[in-house]
A = this chain, B = another copy of it.
């Protein structure tokens, strides 16, 4: 790049896939990135734009005029075009759209911009191959040659009636294998899966993954064919979804990456740490409250990190398995049966662990009453922690709140405090103080 021998550079870059060029641009400084974007054809650069990091793209687009952006947009499929325009300010959106020359493309992009990002409408593309049930195979082949040129990948051909309502589908293969005088209505498969334009993208992803679909048509409430969603967009949805859940479980506000700035990372991490700090202060207050009572049993205070850790671990384990079950939609049975199962499970784990702890304290300390008090409290703490870990995500899900926030620091902190409180309370009871 330094030498800026345009011709050589252009030839060199043309050898690369656009996803690789995007990776290179993400690492260059802005001036050089913009320089390269302007150097290449809009056919390549439009694809590169879709693959750039959001931050880099925002900066690059900031350096292009509305007309230049519109030229890139013209090369893109409607779904990618709408995604890029949606990232611009309202004012620039207008400017860019007015510069798009292809009136049909302009109308389609404007339509897509109206759908919320997390619905089927926000994910779909207008590009698809559509045939009418009354056409013949031969006529159909002839006419879809025109349509197919605009569509990067054909997947399915959608069959509609004269009111544009979706009534079936065909594969290119069916068309090639069929006799040329057959009517489309005869060879179309009628049981076509579809999603409504207002459906949640996560539901769309679940349906496509479950039925192994590579594309699904999108219809409105009247069954009118509006667009289609392809599996590559769903792969992105699934990846984002998994990353979001993972980050929430780790105590990170969603959407950060290792290469974000220290300030962005602080914003993602500090609120959860602050929650932990409050929990720690709560634990301090509880322990101070029990200070007098346990004056002769100071040793008990030294087990609070153990109790807190176990309560936290059990809570995260049980909530994670519920969150995952909810995400995969494979939880069966009532909340009560879940809670009973978790109680038995936690009791079994708790008793096994408590036996080890009892033996340790007994051997180390030779005071059977303390050993017993600590061990029995541990079992109780583990059971309660398991129940909370099971109940909270189920409860949040019923309320329509993302259960993934219940894993991680949220459950750990509340279980820490509750576990320590329970521990001292039960120990006090057993030791008869």
Contact = CB atoms under 8 A, between A and B. Distances in A.
Contacts of A250: 249, 316-317, 319-321, 407
B277 A324 contact: no
Interface in A115-170: 141, 144-145, 148-149, 151, 153-154
A196 interface: no
The secondary-structure label for the interface of chain A is: helix
A81 interface: no
Contacts of A269: 314, 317, 345, 349
A416 B316 contact: no
Contacts of A249: 246, 249-250, 320
A55 interface: no
A17 B308 CA distance: 48
A299 to B, nearest CB: 7
Contacts of A312: 309, 312, 412
Contacts of A332: 27, 259
A309 B420 CA distance: 13
A194 interface: no
Contact of A280 (B149, B309, B321, B325): B309
A279 interface: yes
A57 to B, nearest CB: 15
Nearest to A360: B281
A302 B287 contact: yes
A239 interface: yes
Contacts of A319: 250
Residue in A313, A321, A338 with the greatest tally of chain B CB atoms within 10 Å: A313
A405 interface: no
A235 B257 contact: no
A353 B291 CA distance: 26
Interface range on chain A (Cβ under 8 Å from partner): 35 or more
A304 interface: yes
Nearest to A419: B305
Closest 6 interchain pairs by CB?
A280-B306, A250-B320, A242-B242, A258-B325, A283-B305, A287-B302
Contacts of A235: 209, 231, 234-235, 238
Interface string A16-44: 01010000000100000000000000000
Interface stretch (A4-12, A94-102, A172-180): A172-180
Given A257-B330, A288-B299, A308-B308, A214 B238 contact: no
